[in-house]
Amino acid sequence: MIDRIWHGWTTPENADEYERLLREEILPSFADADNDGYRGTRLLRREADPETDDGEVEFVTILRFDSTESVREFAGEEYRDAHVPPAAREVLKRFDDRARHYEVREEREY
């Protein structure tokens, strides 16, 4: 199992709109794509801390895939590059240009 992790930051004013885009358009489009190795997503949001974050709201998306080959099916040969649709680029203040990929070694839920 491979987790693809990516960060994006936006202003407090744009945070709800970005989250709406993710929930209603972007993440469902990933599930609708023809990729049998895509297993789901986790969306994280951290509110701005004006003392340390320059007032930015941080989002982390974690996409889960069966294998690196499944990631390549999703993102193409340059699979490390960020996949940021134009609508998201309009509301993000900044974002990672590259995604990071981690092999899931263990997972526990209680």
Mean residue pLDDT across the chain:
93
| pTM score over 0.85 | yes
24 vs 20, 28, 56, 59, CA distance in Å?
6, 7, 22, 15
Structural domain harbouring 6: 2-52+67-96
Within-domain flag for 8 = yes
Total tally of structural domains belonging to the chain: 1
Average pLDDT over residues 76-100: 94
With a cut of 80, say whether residue 104 has pLDDT above it: yes
Domain assignment of residue 59, yes or no: no
At position 55, the amino acid (one-letter code) is G
Q: Is residue 27 part of a domain?
A: yes
Residue in the structure block whose two tokens are 């701005």: 48
